[in-house]
Amino acid sequence: MSNGRSEVDPFSETPMELEPCEGNGQAIIDESPKNGLETNAVGEAAYAEPLTPEEIRWFYKDGVDKRWVEFCGYDSLRIEKIYQDRQDLLGRIDAETDSLPPAEKIVVRGGMYDVEIDNMKCVSIYWPGEEWEIMRATWYYDGSWIPLESEHSKVIEEVHLNLFQRESNNQSSSKCDTNNQSYKVLHTEQFSEFHVDWHTINDVTLYSEYTPTKLMRSVTSKLGFTKTTGYRLKRGYKTRANMENKPRDIDHLVFVVHGIGQKRDTGKIIRNTTCFRDCVDWLKQKYFPNSKHRVEFFAVEWRSSLKLDGDIVDAITPYSVLSIRHLLNASAMDILYYTSPLYGAEVRAGLQKELNRLYFMFASRHPGWQGKVSILAHSLGCVIVYDIVTGWMGPDTRLPSPAQEVLLQGLQFPIENLFCLGSPLSVFLALRTRTPSNRLDVMPQGLCKRFYNIFHWSDPVAYRMEPLLERGYSKIEPVLIPPYGGVDGQQSMERSPSSFNNGDPVLPPTETDDKDDSPVGTPNRSAEKGWSLWDLVRGGWNVKEGPSSPTPDSNPPIRPEQELTQRLDYVLRAVGLGRNYLYTVTAHTAYWNNYDVAYFVLTRLFPTLET
C-alpha cells in the first residue's frame, strides 16, 4: 500500500483519498461513536467489548467496478447469523469423526442472489456464471470506510481485544490514557506490507512499509524520517445494521436481451445488465428517493445454448486474418443464422425458452406475484423478440419443425413495454414483403402495450420505425429524449457517478473542423455536409414529445387522420458530436451506461414518477 494512494469509496459518488495522519507526538482524540467500547463516567472509552452483529458488516465485490459494496442491514444480519452458527458448530464437532454438513444458502439482494457461506461467494440465482466474492468486515479506513481485508481485520481484532477487553477480575489488561501526550505505542502488529500501531484504545493507525528500494529506506532513515504516513483505522461500521433496512418487493421485471456478438463472451450481457441496473438505481435514489417502486433487470443470455451449425463455420474458416475471422464468426454470423430458414426457428425457440424459464422460475419463488413484465432488447435481439411476440414463423411454414411447434405456444406472460435499443427491426420488416403497407400494425396493443424504438443518430445499425407505418413520418422529427433529471428540456447539471461514462466520448477534432457555436444538444449542421449516409435516416432535430408537428420549411407531411396514436421513434441528444464520425464505432453499444436512456426507461416503467 503506497502513501496517499487514491481509493474508491463504495458509498460516495467520487473517488476520495484515504485520510493520512502523522505521528506528530500529539494524541488524536476520536469523537466518533464508540463501537464495541464500554465508556467510563465521563464518557471516555475504557474497555473494548466484542463487536455485536449490528456493528459487523458484510460486503460483496461489485462485478463491474470491482469494489466492495455493503449488503443492506437485513442481508448483513442474516449472513452474520449463519456465520456465527457455523463457527459454533465448527467448535463443537470432532474433526476426525464428524463431517460438517453444508451451510444453508441465504437469499440476498431482494431475492436475486444466494450467499454460500462455505465458499464465501454471492451467486446469481436466475442466470449462470455470475458470482462475487464476499467479506466479513470489522475494521475500516477512517473517512473512506473502505474495509480492510478480512485476514488482516481478524488479526487486528484479536490484538485489540487482548489489549483492551475487560478481564474476568474487572481489571483492564492495558489501561487507556486518552490524555497521554507522549504518543507512545502500546503495541505494534507487523504485516507483510504494513504495520499497525495501537496508541490508545481510540487511536489505531496503519503505517505503510512500502518504499521502492533498500537505498531509499536507508536515506530516509538517516534523514530522520523513520515514521511513515499513517492511516487511521476505525473499528465497527459507521452505521448499525437494521433488519428494517431491506429492499422493497419487486413490482416490475425487465428482461434484458442481447443482440449479436455473445458467442465467445457469454458474460457480456450480464455485465451490461449490471451496468444499466446501476445507472437506474443511482437515478432512482437521486431523483425519486421516496418512490416505493422497485424494478429488477434480468439478463437473458440466449446464444450459448444454441449449437446451430456445430462449429462447421469455424472449421471452414481460413487461417488468414484469423482474429478478424473469429470476430465476424462470433458476431455478424448471428444475423446470417437468423435469416437462414434452417436456423431461424431454432434461434427464436432458444430465446423463447429462456424467457419463459426465467419468468416461471421467478413466479415459483414469488407465489401470488402481481407485477408487470417488460423487455429491453438490443440490436438483433429486438428482431427476435418481436418475432416471438407477434408469432412470425418465417418464410416457409408448410412443414413446421420441432422448434416451430414450440414457438406456436408463444410467451407465457403478457408484456407491458418493449424497449428496442439500436434496433434494425424496421429493415427486417421492410424486406419481408414486396409492398409494405403504410398502416402496418407493428405491435398490436393486445400483445404489448407500448413500443419504444430508441437510437442514437450515430448508430450504424439502428433504423427508424415510424416511416414504415406512415411514409410521411420520414419528414417528422423523432422524439428527442431529454437529459436525465432535466426540466423542460434543459440539460441537467447534476454529476453522475464517476464509475460510469455518460454521454458521448470526447474525440479530437479534425483539422478542418469549424467552430461550433450551436447550443448544447444541437448538432452543427454545417458539419453534416458530405456524409450522405447520415441523411438516409435523419428525420430532424429538436422536437418535443407529443402530436407530430410539421417541419417549419415544408407543408404538413401527413394529414391528421394519418397520425400515429403513439410515437415510436425516440432519439438521443447528440451532445458534442460535431464531425466525430468515429463515434459510430462505439455508438451501437453505448446505450448500457447512458443515463439519459436509463432515466427514460425508468420513467416509462413507472409513469407516476414524473408527476
**33-61 confidence digits (pLDDT tens):** 456 665 554 445 678 999 999 999 999 99
Average the pLDDT over 104-115 and give the result. 94
Decide: 38 and 52 in contact? Cβ < 8 Å.
no
Residue 482 has pLDDT above 80, yes or no: yes
Q: What is the pLDDT of residues 173-189, one digit of tens each?
A: 444 444 444 468 999 99
Q: Would you state the cell numbers that stand for residue 269, as one nine-digit string?
A: 450481457
pLDDT of residue 212: 52
Beta-carbon contacts of 458 under 8 Å, excluding residues fewer than 6 positions away, are: 574, 577, 581, 583, 584, 587
CA 74 to chain centre: 21
Task: Pull the grid cell for residue 528.
Answer: 453534416
More confident residue, 499 or 553: 553
Model pLDDT for residues 336-370, shown as the tens digit of each residue: 778 888 788 888 998 999 999 999 999 999 999 99
**Which of 314, 338, 342, 340 is closest to 328 using CA atoms?**
314
Please give the grid coordinates belonging to residue 475. 419528414
> How far, CA to CA in Å, does 247 sit from each of 64, 238, 384?
21, 20, 33
pLDDT at 460: 84
pLDDT for the residue numbered 144: 93
The pLDDT assigned to 54 comes to 97
What pLDDT score was predicted for residue 531? 34
Domain ranges of the chain: 53-94+101-165+183-235, 252-485+565-609
> What is the CATH number assigned to the segment(s) 252-485+565-609?
3.40.50.1820
pLDDT of residue 393: 78
Query: Judging by beta carbons within 10 Å of its beta carbon (0-12, 13-18, 19+), is residue 19 exposed, middle or buried?
Result: exposed
Q: Does the pLDDT value for residue 510 go beyond 70? A: no
pLDDT, greater one: 446 or 494: 446
Query: What mean pLDDT is predicted for residues 435-445?
Result: 64
Q: Is the pLDDT of residue 443 over 70?
A: yes
Which of 99, 74, 97, 83 has the alpha carbon at shortest distance from 246? 74
Closest CA to 146 of 155, 137, 134: 137
130: pLDDT strictly greater than 50: yes
Residue 246 has pLDDT above 70, yes or no: yes
Number of C-beta neighbours around residue 345 at 10 A: 24
Residue 171's pLDDT band (cuts 50, 70, 90):
very low
- Give the span between the Cα atoms of 134 and 471, in whole angstroms: 55
**Is 458 labeled as catalytic in the residue annotation?**
no
State how far the Cα of 497 lies from the Cα of 13, in Å rounded to an integer. Answer: 5
- What is the b/e burial string over 106-134, where b = at least 16 CB atoms within 10 angstroms of the residue's CB? bebbbbbbbbbbeeeebebbbbeebbbeb
Q: Decide if 71 contacts 79 (C-beta within 8 A).
A: yes
Residue 536 and residue 435: Cα distance in Å, rounded?
Answer: 20
CA distance 424 to 410: 22
SS3 content of the chain, % helix, strand, coil (to 5): 30, 20, 55
Provide Rg for the chain, Cα atoms: 30
Give the model's confidence band at 409: pLDDT under 50 very low, under 70 low, under 90 confident, else very high.
Answer: low
Q: What is the pLDDT of residue 221?
A: 54
- pLDDT > 70? residue 431: yes
Q: Which residue has the higher pLDDT, 555 or 13?
A: 555
Q: Which residue has the cell 446505450?
A: 591
Name every residue whose Cβ is closer than 8 Å to that of residue 8 and which is 6 or more positions away in sequence: 15, 16, 65, 67, 146, 499
Contact 262, 354 (CB under 8 A): no
Q: Averaging pLDDT over each range in 168-182, 263-277, 520-534, which range is the top one?
A: 263-277
Q: What residues pair up with 386 in beta bridges, in sequence order?
A: none
How high is the pLDDT of residue 46? 74
159 close to 189: Cβ distance less than 8 angstroms: yes
Report yes or no: 137 and 56 within 8 Å, Cβ to Cβ: yes
Residue whose C-alpha is closest to residue 139's, from 120, 122, 158: 158
pTM of the shown model = 0.74
Whether residue 398 is predicted with pLDDT greater than 90 in this model: the reply is no
Q: What is the pLDDT of residues 307-333, one digit of tens each?
A: 665 566 566 666 666 665 555 545 566
Q: What percent of the chain has pLDDT over 90?
A: 43
Active-site annotation holder among 144, 379, 426, 496: 379
Q: Residue 451: phi, psi to the nearest 5?
A: -125, 130
Terminal alpha carbon distance of the chain: 49
**pLDDT confidence band for 214 (50 / 70 / 90):** low
Task: Please state, rounded to an integer, the average pLDDT across all residues of the chain.
Answer: 75
Instruction: Give residue 263's pLDDT band: very low, low, confident or very high (50, 70, 90).
Output: low
Residue 444, pLDDT above cutoff 50: yes
pLDDT of residue 543: 35
Q: Does residue 440 carry a pLDDT above 80?
A: no
